[in-house]
Structure 1
């Protein structure tokens, strides 16, 4: 059976209001092609998490503003979309006295043994670990394996590699790059850590104060050879550093309540476009 084509992501004039009537996104428009690997770049509070949660279908966007493979992610309940963000990594079960084998089995490890074995190797996981007795970095590796065992078509990552050591992160990013090269899938990754990323992204999206300031293929945005004073940084790193300095000068001190920092996770999502998709267990128990 032929694998379906990788989905594209289209955002068209998207504005988003939180329940307290503050605006999290302003007139966002962008197009990310199939099998792309996009870095979502911006300071804290730029709107990155809000955009990722809308793309994942966790929040309701205005009609005809978000399309993932031609479908509305909130209304159509897309299959094959994996979102790994803050609430996922804070799941309390991964801090209990439970074994790694049991956790991987609970998320489909027995149905995808080859993927499980590859992720265990890539993330350097010991199947005999007990989760209450491992470090934060080791716990994060197990969580990443849990989230990625089932094949996905869209992967949305929100700062989920912060606890990984340099080698684990490099191997993990290599695995993700290979996935887009051999499978029909697309990745959007929000991060502030640019180590090992110089040759990783195909596209960049620069966000500030809820707006997309620029986006496109890396080769159209990245500094050219010889531009800027690298001081040991990659050209990608220098480009992002320049963007963030410009954003800070435009925004000014953090005393005027601009930006959406914290609101994407902390508000209850009641009213306006703040509606949240109910978890599966809640929907099953509804009358």
Structure 2
């Protein structure tokens, strides 16, 4: 049984916009850790939100976690952590971190909560309305991870963390996934230090998968023995290669008139207003 399975998924935010996701079909095995790679607008966040049951889809699509329909029979043990949390006015109110974590059940998971408090360097005396975005992100991670999860959906949640805390967090998540056979799907634009984290990587472009979840490290196709790419070939380099291909693909669509051009427009010459 797949930990996450998606079939025939096409999704548009409204009837007059093009689909954000087109014919998505994937299956992730239990215990896998998959990195989603793609440019802004590739559909990564939309896919994660749908998997978390935050948006509804039509009857043709089949979206399941632990073989349960995420919209009609929401499975337990699913944690979604995204960037919008830090902007929620509730978590910017005048409340202490200790009280906030207790209000969402931190006392029931004290051992994991305390481990995360140490790992994320969180001060229980912080007031939520007085801390920085990076500190608020640490509280979010403690809040989201203190209850054991079976499926973890992460959308750019390390963007505000310093290098050391991010590294400690990734080590914790990897060890937790391995110890409990838990599954992680992680969309990020930060690839430094990720080489040893994923079991799979995937590439999205304009709402579709260019590369379906594929075992990492990738096989070296140039070697007759099909050895794996060495550790010196970083995930960063693979991501950069894929993103450059995305940009060239996009520019080709612009040259064909199938996509509105971005960037400077050479024919857009405007004179400065007269000073008098």
TM-score range, shorter chain: 0.7 to 0.9
CA positional deviation for 1:147: 1.4
The whole-number CA distance in structure 2 between the counterparts of 1:251 and 1:128 is: 49
Asked whether the 8 Å contact 1:7–1:186 carries over to 2, the reply is: no
TM-score (norm 2): 0.83
Q: Give the match for residue 91 of structure 1.
A: 88
The whole-number CA distance in structure 1 between the counterparts of 2:181 and 2:238 is: 29
Distance 1:42 1:113, change over 3 A: same
Moved more, 211-220 or 45-54: 211-220
Select 1:27's aligned residue among 23, 26, 38.
Answer: 23
The whole-number CA distance in structure 2 between the counterparts of 1:200 and 1:168 is: 15
DSSP-derived class of the 1:112 partner? helix
The whole-number CA distance in structure 1 between the counterparts of 2:58 and 2:208 is: 16
The whole-number CA distance in structure 2 between the counterparts of 1:175 and 1:108 is: 21
Greater C-alpha Rg? 2
Q: Superposition RMSD on alpha carbons, in Å? A: 2.2
The whole-number CA distance in structure 1 between the counterparts of 2:70 and 2:93 is: 33
Select 2:123's aligned residue among 126, 135, 141.
Answer: 126
The structure, 1 or 2, with the larger RCO (C-alpha pairs under 8 Å, 6+ apart) is: 1
Select 2:230's aligned residue among 225, 240, 260.
Answer: 225
DSSP-derived class of the 2:79 partner? strand
Cα deviation 1:244-287 (Å, max 9, x = unaligned): 000100012897369xxxxxxxxxxxxxxxxxxxxxxxxxxxxx
Distance 1:195 1:220, change over 3 A: closer
Select 1:18's aligned residue among 13, 21, 29.
Answer: 13
Distance 1:155 1:15, change over 3 A: same
Does residue 50 of structure 1 match 2:46?
Answer: yes
Asked whether the 8 Å contact 1:7–1:35 carries over to 2, the reply is: no
Q: Give the match for residue 225 of structure 2.
A: none
Number of residue pairs the alignment of both structures matches? 247
Q: Give the match for residue 99 of structure 2.
A: 102
CA positional deviation for 1:132: 2.2
The whole-number CA distance in structure 2 between the counterparts of 1:173 and 1:225 is: 21
Distance 1:58 1:100, change over 3 A: same
Q: Return structure 1 stretches of 4+ with deviation > 4 angstroms.
A: none
The whole-number CA distance in structure 1 between the counterparts of 2:192 and 2:104 is: 30
DSSP-derived class of the 2:72 partner? coil
Asked whether the 8 Å contact 2:2–2:28 carries over to 1, the reply is: no
The whole-number CA distance in structure 2 between the counterparts of 1:18 and 1:257 is: 20
Q: Give the match for residue 201 of structure 1.
A: 198
Asked whether the 8 Å contact 1:140–1:163 carries over to 2, the reply is: yes
Distance 1:60 1:221, change over 3 A: farther
DSSP-derived class of the 2:69 partner? coil
Q: Give the match for residue 37 of structure 1.
A: 33
Asked whether the 8 Å contact 1:122–1:172 carries over to 2, the reply is: yes
Asked whether the 8 Å contact 1:24–1:210 carries over to 2, the reply is: yes
Distance 1:83 1:252, change over 3 A: same
Asked whether the 8 Å contact 2:86–2:136 carries over to 1, the reply is: no
Select 1:8's aligned residue among 3, 9, 23.
Answer: 3
Moved more, 237-246 or 58-67: 58-67
The whole-number CA distance in structure 2 between the counterparts of 1:154 and 1:39 is: 14
